[in-house]
Amino acid sequence: MLYKGVYHLFYQYNPKGAVWGNIVWAHSVSKDLINWEALEPAIYPSKWFDINGTWSGSATHVPGKGPVILYTGITENQTQIQNYAIPQDLSDPYLKTWIKPDDNPIVKPDNGENGSAFRDPTTAWFNKKDGYWRMLVGSKRKNRGIAYMYKSRDFKKWVKSKRPIHSRKKTGMWECPDFFPVSVTDKKNGLDFSYDGPNAKHVLKVSLDLTRYEYYTLGTYDTKKDRYRPDGYTPDGWDGLRFDYGNYYASKTFFDDKTNRRILWGWANESDTVQDDTVKGWAGIQLIPRTILLDSSGKQLVFWPIEEIESLRGKNVQMTNQKMEMGQRFEVQGITPAQVDVDVTFNVGNLEKAEKFDESFATKPLELCNLKGSNVNGGVGPFGLITLATSDLEEYTPVFFRVFKDAASNKPKVLMCSDAKPYVFLTH
Distance CA 404, CA 279 (A): 44
At 340, the pLDDT band (50, 70, 90 cuts) reads: confident
The C-alpha angle 11, 16, 20, rounded to 5 degrees, equals: 60
pLDDT at 193 over 60: yes
Is the per-residue pLDDT at 127 higher than 60?
A: yes
Third-level CATH fold of 2-310: Tachylectin-2; Chain A (2.115.10)
Q: How far apart are CA 427 and CA 337, in angstroms?
A: 32
**Omega prior to 382 cis, within 30 of 0:** yes
Judge whether residue 426 has pLDDT over 70.
Answer: no
SS3 279: helix
3-state helix, strand, coil in the chain (%, to 5): 5, 40, 55
Lowest-confidence region among 133-137, 307-311, 363-367: 363-367
Residue 110 near residue 47 (C-beta atoms within 8 A):
no
What is the percent of the chain where pLDDT is above 90?
78
pLDDT score of 325: 85
Cβ-in-10-Å burial (0-12, 13-18, 19+) of 304 comes to exposed
The answer to whether the Cα torsion of 92, 95, 98, 99 is positive or negative is: positive
Per-residue confidence (pLDDT) for residue 148, from 0 to 100 = 98
Domain ranges of the chain: 2-310, 316-427
Q: Which letter, b or e, does each residue of 339-369 get, where b requires 16 or more Cβ atoms within 10 Å of its Cβ?
A: eeeeeeeeeeeeeeebeebeeebbbbbbebb
Structure confidence at residue 336 as a pLDDT band (50, 70, 90): confident
Q: Are 401 and 423 in contact (CB under 8 A)?
A: no
Instruction: Dump pLDDT digits (tens) for 144-168.
Output: 999 999 999 999 999 999 999 999 9
Q: Given this model, what pLDDT does residue 59 score?
A: 97
Q: What is the pLDDT of residue 407?
A: 83
User: What is the pLDDT averaged over residues 14-38?
Assistant: 95
The answer to pTM > 0.85 is yes
If you compute the radius of gyration of the chain from its CA atoms, what whole number of angstroms results?
23
pLDDT for the residue 423:
46
Model pLDDT, residue 250:
96
pLDDT score at 408: 84
Averaged pLDDT for residues 113-136: 97
Q: What pLDDT, in 10s, does the model give residues 348-381? A: 888 999 999 998 898 888 889 989 988 899 999 9
pLDDT tens for each residue of 210-219: 999 999 999 9
No. of helices (H) and no. of strands (E), the chain: 2, 28
The answer to whether residue 206 scores a pLDDT higher than 90 is yes
Strand partners, 417: 400, 422
pLDDT of 163 reads: 96
Residue 425's pLDDT band (cuts 50, 70, 90):
low
% of the chain exceeding 70 in pLDDT: 98
pLDDT band, residue 74 (cuts 50/70/90): very high
Question: Is residue 428 predicted with pLDDT exceeding 50?
Answer: no
pLDDT at residue 234 tops 80: yes
Contact indicator for 48, 58 with CB cutoff of 8 Å: no
Pick the CATH number of 316-427 from 3.30.70.980, 2.60.120.560, 2.170.150.70, 1.10.287.3510: 2.60.120.560
Q: What is the pLDDT of residue 363?
A: 85
> Does residue 140 surpass a pLDDT of 70?
yes
What is the amino acid identity at position 164?
A: P
Of residues 101 and 333, more confidence is placed in: 101
Say whether pLDDT at 397 is over 70. Answer: yes
Say which amino acid occupies 25. Answer: W
pLDDT category at 392 given cuts 50, 70, 90 is confident
